[in-house]
Amino acid sequence: MLSDVGDYAGAEVEISWLPNLDELMKGYARNFRPGIGGPPVNVAMAIEVASIDHISEANMEYTMTVFLRQSWRDERLSYNHTNKTLGLDSRFVDKLWLPDTFIVNAKSAWFHDVTVENKLIRLQPDGVILYSSRITSTVACDMDLTKYPMDEQECMLDLESYGYSSEDIVYYWSDNQKQIHGLDKLELSQFTITHYRFHTDTQNFKSAGQFPRLSLRFSLRRNRGVYIIQSYMPSILLVAMSWVSFWISQSAVPARVSLGITTVLTMTTLMISARSSLPRATAIKALDVYFWICYVFVFAALIEYAFAHYNADYSKKEKAKEKSSRGSSESIVKNGKQAMVLFSLSVAGMNQGLLVQSRGQRGQRGGDSGATPSPGAGGDGDGETASRGSQSRKGEEQKCCRCAFKPIDADTIDIYARAAFPAAFAAVNLIYWVAYTM
């Protein structure tokens, strides 16, 4: 076996087909494009995707590793004494003219150089050069997160000449670039690549002219399974757990209050943790809407207990008032009967005394003693009748107020809530999923 190129060149083997690179490079000016002053250079572009490493919604970017292959003709490097293609070392790249291609929407990019620079040069007899390089780039991708996590995003990779205008260079996708090799085999953790397409355009800049641009646009559909497990299912379970309080007795105040507060705080923590990996955008996302729906239902369950407890407490107070008023009315009746008996006895005693006095003095005193009791008795009867009438009117007014603000039974409220809350939550879920998935 031959150990290296030196052994191969030094051996007695015919290698006359190898072109003389020194003669090819004699008078070669790498600072000028091929055919300067004439028609533009046609550069064929091809891409092979090695990997898409990371897609970040927080920074709206993705990281991609590609093999970028560019091909053009440089007649200054043509040779005609053989028809074989010459593969050259990557260090030969520094001696050639290269298209000044750059990634327009790249935030950062770098070439791979382990174990050597990952670059390839192939030279054909007619002067056609194939230049391939391995590049990893972090590229910006504008995302619309309104339907997150039921969203679909379109990201782009734009390639353009930095210094040569359309008068000097023309980019076009290679005829072999009907599909992107490697892209259909990629498996991403959060997305699925649904389709991709190629686009050719010319950018017009007033100060510099027109520049050719090639774009690779690929669509990404987010995988929803992980979000259903991590966000939607815990939210649904928290809402269902808040409904457990409807089956707990009204008298168990600590149990129902602690359950309601715990579900509210847990829902708040879940909302904060889910938003930590997202950008602070002004747009309201679908996940935010669902979190707020669940938060409203959890908070409403807590308010339901407060309302039911208020009605139960109000009913107890009203019953206590009725009992006390009934007892006071009975005592008033009893005291009234006793007073009437005492009054009748006192009147009888007075009448007997007057009769005794009238026997001794039949004149003016008898007349006075007969007239005195009647006005007093009549006046007392009128006052008692008026007070009873006013009390009856007040009682009727209180009854009317009680009928207008009649409290609802707390157990009845819980029974209605057991059916109303799940039905309302199911209806809202139906509207939500239809709105964001259709």
Residue keyed to tokens 């269902």: 240
The rounded Cα 102 to chain-centroid distance in angstroms is: 36
What pLDDT score does 331 carry?
64
- The Cα 277–Cα 292 span in angstroms is 18
pTM of the model: 0.70
Model confidence pLDDT, tens digit, residues 105-115: 999 999 998 88
Model confidence pLDDT, tens digit, residues 295-313: 999 999 999 888 887 887 7
What pLDDT score does 281 carry?
66
Model confidence pLDDT, tens digit, residues 142-194: 988 889 889 999 999 999 999 999 999 999 999 877 778 777 778 888 898 98
Please report which confidence band the pLDDT of residue 327 belongs to, taking 50, 70 and 90 as the band edges: low
**What is the percentage of the chain residues whose pLDDT exceeds 70?**
74
What pLDDT score does 111 carry?
92
Model confidence pLDDT, tens digit, residues 239-260: 999 999 888 887 888 888 888 8
